[in-house]
Every structure is written in structure tokens, then in C-alpha cells.
Amino acid sequence: MTDFIDQAIAGNGLVAAFQQVVELPSETVVGYEALARWPSLDNPSPIDIFDRAAKTGRLDRLDELCIRAATQGAVQRKFTPGVLLLVNCEPATPAVDPTADADVMRAAGAFRLTFEITERGLLTNPRALLRKVAALRALGFAIALDDIGSHPDSLVLLDVVAPDILKLDMGLVQRQPDRMHARTVAGIIAHHERTGAVICAEGIETADHLEQALAYGATLGQGNWFGAPGEVTSTPKPFDWPARRTPCPPAAHHSTMDLAIAGLPTRTVRKQTLTALSHHIGGIAATAQNAPIVLATLHPDEHLDLHTEQMYSAIAERSPLVAVFGRNSLSGFGPRVRGVTLHRDDPLLRESTLLVLGPETACGLIARERPSPAVHSVDAEKRRYDMVITYDHQRVTAAARPLLDRLV
């Protein structure tokens, strides 16, 4: 079996199988998802193939081969012009260059070519993910996020990735929700309400699954209820994107803190007030129903007390990502907190920042110490800060991007 997997990684026997995507509730076919398959190698598991490729340093090449097979197959089958074409890609591999592959160019010209970011390793390399999404958007491609609900990473990254299509994991559709599933569904619906992103339900195989998908607000569906991969049950029609309520982020992969907080009122606060508000926001992160990501920057003159270090460590026990950025030693937070040392000239070191971002939670505190004769005083009573605080999802997301861009 290992030999078959290695052959599959090399592209031997690779073909694309296409599963219909239907509009709900009409069940009209409006597109296809390309699925990588290796029938001549006795169909080894795609999960096993991609896992081995990642462990052996061959994931970039495998991803490229699968994209090529998907677009080539779609062109050869002469699907209806304007249909949705979902092509899977890994979150941290280089973005496709359509000018380097004629089939990708033809598929982009003929269909609504959308790159579907898989759930594997979304937070392994946030910089690579953000830059890939930005590069694809700059080329005019839409973005789907796969299997939302199968792992906490996909849920907390909804605002950061800002996908055009939210793909519900089949586990949400195929069974009645427990409390954890209900929280996930609520987070997805909240994001849809903010942005207008399309909800697509996967794994619909029965009438009950279809009912569940419709209850969650899905307007696109996939699954054997509508036909197995390779089966066409009706004449497809072109897919029209609905208008988004919130525009996708600009193609640039980063933003600045100044842009994120532009127009917000600045408040002058004492050190004790700043610390108390930071602990309050930390408490919001610690008690949020859907655990958010937490990102913090430390000014070089800042030294965290034991209570604050313990707060970050406790949040990290349930959060998909807690990262602290600074110049000084960042080893006191425990193994689950990612400490990131910044260059002394990094503009992020000008502020002390605490950001909490999840599907239903957004809090941001950004403070800069005011220049005064006592700026380095150990006497906290003499220290004053210009502080901005916001609970706006878009602003907190914009502030989070330059931090995530430094995580590799």
C-alpha cells in the first residue's frame, strides 16, 4: 500500500471525479466539486496520500498536480459555461499561477472557478494561508472554506479568510446537534448574517439531511441524495454569485493597526486601567462559547505580571491559537502559547495590543504610552496611555492580519 501511495503522490493514476453542487431548495445543478481519485491504484485514501505527502515534503507538488487534473478534467468534459467549479487546495502551499497552465486559464475563463481551502493545518502557517488567499483573490478567484465544524481552526478563521462559500462539514448535517455542534452552527449563521457568504452543506444523503441543511441556511448542497460523483442528474445552469453584505478584504495580505482603528475615539488611561481592561478582555476570551484566537503584542518596556501570564496559559488550553509577540523573553506562558520574537524595528512594538477574535466574539485593545518625563517610570501612577478599544468584527479582523502575517 505504501508503494501505491508514493505512486499517487507522484501523480500516477490521478484523475478528477466531479460531484454535483445543487442550488437549494430547487436542487438545480449549478456546479461541480473536483475530487482527486486514483482508481488505477485501487483508490488509496486521499487523506493517507496527503498526509504522507506533507510528511515527506511533497505536498506542494501534489497540490499542483491535483489542481491541474481538476481544471483539465472540467475543460475536457465541456461543462456548461458559467457553472461553479470548486477545486481543492492546501492552505499553506503556493498559490496557483494560472498563466503557467493552459488548462487553469481555460477553466478560469469558462467557469466560476473557486479555490476550496481544505481544513488540514489551517493554523500551521497563518502567513502562508493569508498570502495564498490574497494572491488568489488578486487573480479574481473566489474562496471556499471546507469542512467548517470538523475542527475549531476553520471556525475561528472565518473573518480572517472571509470565504465566499462556507462549506458545512457533513457531521453537522447528518446528525442532530449537541451543544458543541449547536455553537458551531450558531457561529456559521452569525458570520453569514454579517457577510452574506454562501452556505453550502456537504454530505446530504437522506431527506433528513436535506431538512437539516435547509434549517442551517444552506443555499447550496452536495451529497449522494443529488447523485454520486460522476453522475449528472439534470442539465446544469450557470451559477450567479449573490451580493455580499461585507466586501472581501483587499488583495494585500496585511493591514496596519492605524487603518484598523482609524476614526475610533482615543482615550487616555492609567496603567492600572489598561491592565484591568486587558484582564476583562482576557476573561471574555476564556468564557466565550466558541473559543476564539487571542493575539497580543508587548511593548519592549512592558513586563507582564504572573496573573497575566497565567491568564494567557489558561486561555490557550481551549483556544485554537494564542500568540504573544514581543522583544523580551516569551517563555513563561507555557507550551500552548506561541511566543514570537519581533525585530526591534517592527512597528508592531510601538503598541501594546490584545485582540480576541472568534465567530461570535471580537474585542480589541490597542494602547500606546504617552511620551512624558516619567515614560520609563516604575511608578504606575505616573504612566498614561492613549488607548483605543473596539468590539467591531471588521476592525478586530483588520488588526489581527498583520499579527497573523508574522506567524509561520
Are 324 and 216 contained in the same domain?
no
Examine the domain organization and report whether 145 and 55 are in the same domain.
yes
Let me know whether 32 and 96 are in one domain.
yes
Q: Are residues 261 and 305 in the same domain?
A: yes
pLDDT number for residue 331: 66
181 plus 137 within the same structural domain: yes
When pLDDT is averaged across residues 150-173 and rounded to a whole number, the result is 89
Domain co-membership, 270 together with 189: no
* In a domain? residue 338: yes
What distance in Å separates the CA atoms of residue 355 and residue 399, rounded to the nearest whole number? 8
Query: Is 242 inside a domain boundary?
Result: no
Please identify, among 172, 204, 226, the residue that sits at the C-terminal boundary of a domain. Answer: 226
Give per-residue pLDDT as tens, 313-346.
Answer: 889 998 999 999 988 666 667 788 998 888 888 8
In a domain, 317, yes or no: yes
Question: What's the CATH number where 197 sits?
Answer: 3.20.20.450
| Angle of the 271-287 helix axis to the 306-316 helix axis, nearest 10 | 20
State residue 239's pLDDT score: 95
Residue finishing a domain among 172, 203, 226: 226
- Which of 181, 141, 134, 130 is CA-nearest to residue 165? 141
> Which residue, 123, 195, 168, is CA-closest to 400?
123
Whether 248 is in a domain gets the answer no
Residue 398 has pLDDT above 60, yes or no: yes
Q: Tally the C-alpha atoms within 13 A of residue 287's C-alpha that lie toward its C-beta.
A: 6
Higher pLDDT, 78 or 114: 114
Which pTM was predicted? 0.88
Q: What percent of the chain has pLDDT over 70?
A: 93
Which has more confidence, 217 or 151?
217
Tally of domains within the chain: 2
Does 388 score more than 70 pLDDT?
Answer: yes
Structural domain harbouring 57: 2-226
Please say if the pLDDT value at position 280 is more than 60: yes
164 and 280 inside one domain? no
Distance of CA 293 to the CA centre of its chain: 12
Please choose, from the candidates 356, 324, 327, the residue with its C-alpha nearest in 3D space to the C-alpha of residue 337.
324
Whether 21 shows a pLDDT value over 90: the answer reads yes
What percentage of the chain has pLDDT greater than the value 90? 55
Question: Is residue 166 domain-resident?
Answer: yes
Do 8 and 145 belong together in one domain? yes
Last residue of a domain, one of 172, 205, 226: 226
Q: Is residue 237 part of a domain?
A: no
For position 253, what pLDDT does the model report?
45
Give yes or no: residues 144 and 277 share one domain.
no
**Spatial contact of 147 and 86, defined as CB atoms under 8 Å apart:** no
- CATH code assigned at 291: 3.30.870.10
C-alpha cell at 215: 434549517
Report if residue 236 sits inside a domain: no
Cell readout for 243 is 451580493
Residue 243 lies in a domain: no
Do residues 195 and 270 share a domain?
no
Contact assessment for residue 404 and residue 127, using Cβ atoms and an 8 Å cutoff: yes
Give the count of beta carbons closer than 10 Å to the beta carbon of residue 28: 16
Q: Read off the pLDDT of residues 50-97 as tens digits, 9 standing for 90 and up.
A: 999 999 999 999 999 999 999 999 999 989 999 999 999 999 898 888
Specify whether 220 is located in the same domain as 342: no
* Residue 41 sits in the same domain as residue 165: yes
